[in-house]
Structure 1
Amino acid sequence: MPLRYVDPNKTHGPVYRASVRFGRSRPGQFVGRRIQPRVDRVWSRLTRGRGMSFVRSAPLVTTGAKSGLRRRVQLAYFHDGRTAIVMASNYGGERQPQWYHNLKANPDCELAGEPFRATQVVDPDEYQRLFGLAVQVYAGWGDYRDRANRQFPIFRLEPR
């Protein structure tokens, strides 16, 4: 399944806005954390990459930092030019998601079956710009930041 382009500046319709409102609610957060990750992998294959969520997602394949094994996780993303952007928000939790450690140790990865090389965004101005774009894609990332005790790492995935 090819990686679909996600424009963060796209105007969203009423169905998308309603989906985001639900996703930011308490029941929506429960579904997003507990149910969706288990269903999204299969649903993504059946729908050719659309995923279950209203935010575009794709399978990110990394190499385990300790095990060296391939690890797969369904992950929301968007584009900045020709590069894909992913954020290690972990639903606003205190810990980094496991894939963050994998990308730090082994930056070569795949997103939707396409090869990429990950670099973490460290420039503060670039970070703020990309975080602003992320919130345009899904306002819930702003909610996560407000309740978390950490800055979410942002990775730029450059095509290889």
Structure 2
Amino acid sequence: MPLRYVDPHRRRGPQYDKGVRIGRSPIGQFMARHIARRTDPILFRLTNGRINMGPIVNAPLRTTGAKSGKPREVQLTYFHDGSDVILVASNFGQDKHPQWYHNLKANPDCTFGQEPFTAVEVTDPQERARLYGLAERVYAGYGDYREMTAATGREIPVFRLKPR
């Protein structure tokens, strides 16, 4: 099944907004970090990506470990910019980049959903700001994460996945 197209410009309804409010709450953040990260990969495989634990569409990123060279998998929220997939390395606003960031930097060829991509970090400040603004339209919690990381000086990386 092809990766579900996520249009950041699409207007979302009140149910989506309610789900985002819950996701941004302390209980929602706990569930995302400790429960959904384990259940969403299973739901993705069982339903071919049709069902997630929450309202935000996500898919599995499969990378090669930067140090180990072993296959790694993590479920991530995404959106599209044309035919490219955009990923935000927010790590829930923590002061360090997520491990998958280091994996993509070391080994940019990856699989997202079930499709092959090559990852490129967006380094142009204007393009990064544009894409981050779109990310906040998909999930407003990215604004929270940006505020949290501002205190530590960490700029949240954005990746563009280009189809191979």
* TM interval, short-chain normalised: over 0.9
What is the CA-CA distance between 1:9 and the residue it aligns to? 0.4
| Structure 2 residues not aligned, in runs of 5+ | none
Identify which range, 40-49 or 18-27, moves more after superposition.
40-49
Q: CA RMSD in A?
A: 0.9
Q: How many pairs are equivalent? A: 160
Give the AA of the match of 2:160: R
Equivalent in the alignment of 1:153: 157
* Contact preservation (8 Å) 1:89, 1:96: yes
Question: 1:4-23 alignment to 2 at 5 Å?
Answer: 4-23=4-23
- 1:103-132 Cα offsets, whole Å, 9 max, x none, are 000000000111000000000000100000
Supply the distance in 2 between the matched residues of 1:56 and 1:127 (Cα, whole angstroms).
21
Q: Aligned pair 1:54/2:73, yes or no?
A: no
Supply the distance in 2 between the matched residues of 1:108 and 1:124 (Cα, whole angstroms).
24
Identify which range, 30-39 or 4-13, moves more after superposition.
30-39
Supply the distance in 2 between the matched residues of 1:106 and 1:125 (Cα, whole angstroms).
25
- TM-score w.r.t. the length of structure 2 is 0.95
- TM-score w.r.t. the length of structure 1 is 0.97
Supply the distance in 2 between the matched residues of 1:8 and 1:135 (Cα, whole angstroms).
9
Q: What SS is found at the alignment partner of 1:67?
A: coil
| Structure 1 residues not aligned, in runs of 5+ | none
